[in-house]
Amino acid sequence: MDFCQILEPKQKALQINLDNKIYGTFAEIGAGQEVARNFFQAGGAAGTVAKTMSAYDMTFSDSIYGKEKSGRYVCQDRVMKMLDYEYDLLVDRLGKVRGSDTTFFVFADTVAAKSYSGKGECHGWLAVRFQHAPNAKASELLLHIRMLDQENVQQQEAVGLIGVNMIHACFFHRDDKGKFVSALMDNLSTRRIEIDMIHVSGEALSHMDSRILSLELVKRKYTKVVMFDENGKAIQARDYLYKKNLVVLRGSFRPPTHVNMDMLKCGLEIIKEEVSEGEEILGLPEVSMSKLIERGEVSNRDFLARVDLLTALKQVVMISNFDNYFEVNEFLENVSRRKIIFVTGVYNLQEILDIKKYENCPSGILGGLGTLFGKQTKLAVYPALDDDDSSKLNHIDDVKYDPSIKSIVNYFFENQRLINVKNFNEDYSAIWSRTVLKMIEDGESGWEEMVPDVVAKHVKTQKLFSK
């Protein structure tokens, strides 16, 4: 078969069925047994399927896999427990019989497809645990997906397709990083499925970095957002951000500077005065690929360097392909459901208020600003030195914009939705990321004083951003 062509699901399933070394279990909860069905319909399934099962009843499911502390059934912990149980059982029962010439696998998913009532998020966790050689230690592929079809039966079909793609990629595309990711969406479109988290582990996939695969998801527009925790591990953004108050800082972070960290600090101080004691607050640096994707200039190495630098500062990081502030807020408001403060510079505010920037926005500047400020979002504006007068700091009042929107800007200002940052460090107001980057590229010294120590050390040891 020519793997340069996209195989149909039944072709992929048949190729696996006809390989007598591949043998395993399917455990599917929440959208029928659509993945296993593809293998049965392809023919020759007896050569692949050791067992299929689906424990829909909660009591049955808990008796097999145990209860979740969270009480949730569609979660990462649940799919991992399914993998653990089914894989151990498979190897225990069949290892001695055929382990010497078989590569075992388990496919598991726990999915919330569109219900009869039509309520709730349609999403799921899917995973494959597999051996790349007989008796080898198992490797894993884990995904989180959102199902976007409007009908339950279509969502079931989409889960079946992506499940087949996952198993096939693990056995036939694991040596090609690019094909491994792209094959996950074979015979699907982003109108049907969004993959918003990916994680790989084990010897068979040791040459792949989950962070780079995550960046590929954004670059290929399989999702709008991926996130990494303070240790650099890929995490599911919607779960992590749920019910957290957020301080968001958009930037290039090439590299993160003292002014970036001061902006986050000031934003956190503001939001702490506005939320109740005990509520969760998160500072969130966000880096957008949007413009680079349009130009075809996205470098995984470059973005990974930025992730590494921010996580070295113990920051959670969000990578997106959002073009502007209001798109970011629309996403965050839906998942956070709490207060959001964007900390932005004076010159960024000038761009936000530029009417020309909304020419391609269907609802124009009124709709864009309405989406940006949302229900309870604020913009905290960090001052900057005047381009023409280095002794002057510019604030909101110094921002130039079209007189036709003056009343709108006044409304946001008078209602404390647009505020000046006050407790900032004036010593940092003259630091510009682009200046630091140019000094690094040109091999100049002195930039080290403009960034946190851990950033300077990391840039030097890893030789980042140098030409």
Of 73-77, 428-432, 435-439, minimum mean pLDDT range: 428-432
- Reference 159, options 205, 127, 130; nearest CA is 127
Per DSSP, 447 falls in state: G
Q: State how far the Cα of 224 lies from the Cα of 290, in Å rounded to an integer.
A: 10
- Which of 187, 208, 229 finishes a domain? 208
Q: State how far the Cα of 343 lies from the Cα of 68, in Å rounded to an integer.
A: 38
Residue 3 maps to a domain:
no
139 and 29 within one domain? yes
91 and 188 within one domain? yes
- Which of 208, 228, 247 finishes a domain? 208
**pLDDT tier at 1, thresholds 50, 70, 90:** very low
278 and 161 within one domain? no
**What's the CATH code of the domain at 257?**
3.40.50.620
Q: What does the pLDDT look like over 346-405, one tens digit per residue?
A: 999 999 999 999 988 889 999 999 999 999 999 999 998 877 777 788 899 999 999 999
Side-chain-side CA neighbours of 414 within 13 Å: the count stands at 6
Side-chain-side CA neighbours of 445 within 13 Å: the count stands at 0
Q: Give the number of domains in the chain.
A: 2
Q: What does the pLDDT look like over 179-230, one tens digit per residue?
A: 999 999 999 999 999 999 999 999 999 999 999 999 999 999 999 999 999 9
- The edge-to-edge listing of strands for the beta sheet with 103-112 is 49-53, 22-29, 103-112, 123-130, 139-147, 193-201
Of 32-36, 273-277, 296-300, 425-429, minimum mean pLDDT range: 296-300
Residue 219 maps to a domain:
no
100 and 174 within one domain? yes
Residue 121: predicted pLDDT: 87
18 and 138 within one domain? yes
Domain of 275? Answer: 238-462
Is the CB of residue 336 less than 8 Å from the CB of residue 271?
Answer: no
Where does residue 250 rank: exposed (0-12), middle (13-18), buried (19+ CB within 10 A)? buried
First to last CA, the chain: 43
Q: State how far the Cα of 250 lies from the Cα of 327, in Å rounded to an integer.
A: 12
Q: What does the pLDDT look like over 304-321, one tens digit per residue?
A: 999 999 999 999 999 999
Residue 215 maps to a domain:
no
Residue 32: predicted pLDDT: 79
**pLDDT tier at 295, thresholds 50, 70, 90:** confident
DSSP strand E in 41-192: where?
Answer: 49-53, 103-112, 123-130, 139-147
**Residues whose CB falls within 8 Å of the CB of residue 166, separated by 6 or more in sequence, listed in order:** 107, 126, 128, 141, 143, 184
Is the full-model pTM beyond 0.75?
A: yes
Residue 127 maps to a domain:
yes
- Reference 106, options 26, 44, 11; nearest CA is 26
How much of the chain exceeds pLDDT 70, in percent?
Answer: 98
- Number of other residues whose CB lies within 10 A of the CB of residue 445: 7
Q: State how far the Cα of 344 lies from the Cα of 120, in Å rounded to an integer.
A: 34
Q: State how far the Cα of 263 lies from the Cα of 206, in Å rounded to an integer.
A: 38
259 and 172 within one domain? no
Residue 71: predicted pLDDT: 86
302 and 420 within one domain? yes
411 and 349 within one domain? yes
Per DSSP, 100 falls in state: G
How is residue 145 written in tokens?
Answer: 């997906």
Side-chain-side CA neighbours of 57 within 13 Å: the count stands at 4
305 and 157 within one domain? no
**What's the CATH code of the domain at 197?**
3.90.950.20
309 and 199 within one domain? no
- In angstroms, the Cα distances linking 70 to 5, 78, 119, 156, 278 are 43, 10, 20, 25, 19
287 and 150 within one domain? no
Query: What is the average pLDDT value for the chain, to the nearest integer?
Result: 93
- In angstroms, the Cα distances linking 409 to 92, 198, 421 are 68, 41, 17
Residue 160 maps to a domain:
yes
**pLDDT tier at 117, thresholds 50, 70, 90:** low
Beta bridge partners of 314: none
Q: What does the pLDDT look like over 134-147, one tens digit per residue?
A: 999 999 999 999 99
Distance of CA 414 to the CA centre of its chain: 36
How is residue 371 written in tokens?
Answer: 């989406």
Q: What does the pLDDT look like over 436-455, one tens digit per residue?
A: 999 999 999 999 999 999 99
Strand, coil or helix: what is 369?
helix
- Reference 343, options 413, 399, 281, 264; nearest CA is 264
Q: 40-44 long-range contacts, Cβ below 8 Å, gap at least 24?
A: 41/10, 41/13, 42/9, 42/10, 42/11, 42/13, 42/14, 42/17, 43/14, 43/17, 44/14, 44/17, 44/18
Residue 3: predicted pLDDT: 44
272 and 362 within one domain? yes
Q: State how far the Cα of 292 lies from the Cα of 378, in Å rounded to an integer.
A: 27
Residue 343 maps to a domain:
yes
Residue 110 maps to a domain:
yes
Of 8-17, 114-123, 239-248, 337-346, minimum mean pLDDT range: 114-123
- Number of other residues whose CB lies within 10 A of the CB of residue 120: 11
Mean pLDDT of 142-156: 95
Is the CB of residue 213 less than 8 Å from the CB of residue 222?
Answer: no
Residue 2 maps to a domain:
no
* Beta strands at 123-130 and 103-112: parallel, antiparallel or unpaired: antiparallel
